């Protein structure tokens, strides 16, 4: 594209295209991406003097293997030659069957049944629907509220929004519209921290007191992502499992961001060896290639639903089980599991720890934390998003800071040299922002 074409396209973009959390007509200038390969995005016009930027974001936790990967490209092409999509009502196909069976195999043992939808938010909708419908089906219809901890993020459709952090979020727009859920404080910070007895007692009291109206507890295990990039001890997952069992409350883990190795375990639940009743997956499920999510549940939950007066799960999106997405998900999972992914994630963890170490104690920096292939610098002030983004781009890195956070979750295929540049980009963004 020529400069003139680029400017025309961007003018149309601003006039017509909504971007995430964007105003309209848009006052935000997006970067026009021409192509992406390996860990690099190629822009139509330079940003910070660079047209090629290393993607420090994995396109929001998704592109584990980078872009334009020959194995993933081949999986999509092969499937495209057979069929790109067929309805899932009354029809089924090999890619979806294989994907569901594989997900059951690699997730914690009691998860047996898989609902394949098209986005993370819908996976969470389906998870909540499963829980509410279960209690209705087994004769406990009063159990219809969700409990969650603060600081969470579960998506932007209505039920997921109702369990997102209510502070500083957009809940004030939806007073009286969102289902009224129960919130407890988020767990004390720190992956390696001991479980805090006072916090545990508070959690126990909330669950016990509200057990008769609680359908389920929903949390992001170990890593709270878009709600604040916080890490907490797997011990809180063990505690939640015990409390939910004790009081007859279901447990949902939203692993849409953490799934497929990001936190250092294949699923964050594995850090604690804890099994939820329902698990949500998305983002990296397809290696970031196509939009697909999965909601897994136990046999007991599915059996309960089948005993109800409406004995079916009342959900069925048009693009459910999409064959192209399922085929690339199968290829992405095999690509991940066929390699020593733990070593790769550890290498990234080590690279980020080393590369970000100097920022701890720097002016304006409140905290530096790394867990798995996630690096976070928390500032003591709101970040200047445009200045921080440009400063990272000057180092040849694409980042998307928000609130008081400059953070990265690189593709696992990022080599050590590019990883060092990402760390430099985070540092530059933290200083400039």
Residue numbers annotated as active site: 21, 153, 254, 283
Rounded to whole angstroms, the Cα distance separating 298 from 280 reads 12
254 belongs to the binding site for ligand PLP (CB under 6 A):
yes
The answer to whether 153 and 188 are in contact (CB under 8 A) is no
- For residue 239 the two structure tokens come to 């505690």
Figure out which of the listed residues 55, 186, 220, 270 binds ligand PLP, where binding follows CB under 6 A. Answer: 220
Residues contacting 276, CB < 8 A, separation 6+? 108, 111, 221, 241, 251, 252, 253, 269
Match 């290696």 to its residue by tokens: 287
Per CB under 6 A, 69 contacts ligand PLP:
no
Give me the phi and psi of 26, to 5 degrees please: -75, 135
The one segment of 48-56, 254-262, 311-319, 392-400 that binds ligand PLP by CB under 6 A: 254-262
CA-to-CA separations, 72 to 63, 286, 411, in angstroms, rounded: 11, 9, 14
Does 226 engage in binding with ligand PLP (CB under 6 A)? yes
Residue 254 is assigned to a ligand binding site: yes
Residue 207 · residue 244 · CB < 8 Å: yes
Nearest distance, CB of residue 314 and ligand PLP, angstroms: 20
Task: Report whether 60 contacts 19 (CB < 8 A).
Answer: no
* Residue bearing tokens 């970031």: 288
Contact with ligand PLP (CB under 6 A): which of 206, 256, 376, 383? 256
Q: Using the rule CB under 6 A, is 282 a contact of ligand PLP?
A: yes
Residue 162 in the binding site for ligand PLP (CB under 6 A): no
- Site for ligand PLP contains 119 (CB under 6 A): yes
- Closer to ligand PLP at the Cβ: 264 or 427? 264
**Helices then strands (H, E): number in the chain?**
14, 16
Q: Which residue in the block uniquely carries the two structure tokens 């998506």?
A: 155
Positive or negative CA dihedral for 84, 88, 93, 95? positive
- Could you tell me the CA-to-CA distances from 285 to 35, 62, 103, 142, 209 in Å, in that order? 22, 8, 10, 34, 37
Least Å distance, CB 123 to ligand PLP, is: 7
Q: Is 407 annotated as a binding residue?
A: no
Binding-site size for ligand PLP (CB under 6 A) equals 14
Please list, in sequence order, all residues whose beta carbon lies within 8 angstroms of the beta carbon of residue 157, skipping any fewer than 6 positions away: 121, 122, 124, 125
- Does 154 participate in binding ligand PLP (rule CB under 6 A)? yes
Nearer to ligand PLP, 229 or 365 (CB): 229
What's the min distance (Å) between Cβ of 293 and ligand PLP? 6
The answer to the question of residue 221 lying near ligand PLP (CB under 6 A) is no
62 or 305: CB nearest ligand PLP: 62
Binds ligand PLP (CB under 6 A): choice among 66, 225, 234, 261: 225
Q: How many residues does the chain have?
A: 433
Q: Which of 58, 59, 121, 263 binds ligand PLP (CB under 6 A)?
A: 121
Q: Specify the residue, 165 or 418, whose C-beta has the smaller distance to ligand PLP.
A: 165
Among 257, 272, 345, 368, binds ligand PLP (CB under 6 A): 257
60 is in an annotated binding site: yes
Question: Minimum Å distance from CB 164 to ligand PLP?
Answer: 9
Binding-site residue ranges: 60, 120-121, 153, 254, 283, 316-318, 400
Q: Would you tell me which residues interact with ligand PLP (CB under 6 A)?
A: 119-121, 124, 153-155, 220, 225-226, 254, 256-257, 282
């Amino acid at each position: 594209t020529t400069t003139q074409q680029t400017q025309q396209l961007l003018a149309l973009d601003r006039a017509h295209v909504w971007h995430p959390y964007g105003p309209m007509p848009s006052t935000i200038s997006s970067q026009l991406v021409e192509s992406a390969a390996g860990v690099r995005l190629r822009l139509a016009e330079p940003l910070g003097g660079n047209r090629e930027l290393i993607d420090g974001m994995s396109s929001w936790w998704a592109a584990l293997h980078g872009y334009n990967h020959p194995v993933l490209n081949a999986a999509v092409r092969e499937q495209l030659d057979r069929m790109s999509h067929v309805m899932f009502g009354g029809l089924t196909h090999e890619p979806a069957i294989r994907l569901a069976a594989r997900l059951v195999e690699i997730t914690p043992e009691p998860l047996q049944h898989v609902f394949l939808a098209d986005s993370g938010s819908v996976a969470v909708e389906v998870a909540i629907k499963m829980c509410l419908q279960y209690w209705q089906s087994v004769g406990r219809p009063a159990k219809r509220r969700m409990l969650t901890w603060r600081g969470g993020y579960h998506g932007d459709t209505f039920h997921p929004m109702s369990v997102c952090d209510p502070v500083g979020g957009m809940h004030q727009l939806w007073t009286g519209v969102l289902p009224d859920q129960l919130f407890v404080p988020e767990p004390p910070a720190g992956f390696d921290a001991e479980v805090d007895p006072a916090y545990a007692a508070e959690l126990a009291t909330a669950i016990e007191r509200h057990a008769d109206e609680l359908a389920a507890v929903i949390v992001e295990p170990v890593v709270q992502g878009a709600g604040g990039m916080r890490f907490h001890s797997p011990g809180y997952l063990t505690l939640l499992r015990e409390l939910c069992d004790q009081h007859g409350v279901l447990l949902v883990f939203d692993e849409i961001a953490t799934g497929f190795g990001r936190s250092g375990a294949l699923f964050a639940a594995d850090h604690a060896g804890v099994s939820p009743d329902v698990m949500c997956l998305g983002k990296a499920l397809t290696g970031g290639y196509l939009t697909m999510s999965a909601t897994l549940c136990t046999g007991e939950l599915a059996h309960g639903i089948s005993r109800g007066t409406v004995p079916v799960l009342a959900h069925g999106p048009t693009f459910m089980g999409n064959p192209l997405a399922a085929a690339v998900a199968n290829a992405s999972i095999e690509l991940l599991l066929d390699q020593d992914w733990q070593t790769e994630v550890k290498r990234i963890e080590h690279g980020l720890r080393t590369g970000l170490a100097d920022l701890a104690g720097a002016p304006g920096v409140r905290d530096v934390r790394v867990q798995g292939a996630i690096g976070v610098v928390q500032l003591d002030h709101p970040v200047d998003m445009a200045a921080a983004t440009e400063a990272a781009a000057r180092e040849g890195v694409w980042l998307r800071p928000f609130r008081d956070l400059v953070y990265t979750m690189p593709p696992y295929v990022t080599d050590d040299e590019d990883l060092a540049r990402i760390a430099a980009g985070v540092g530059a963004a933290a200083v400039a922002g």
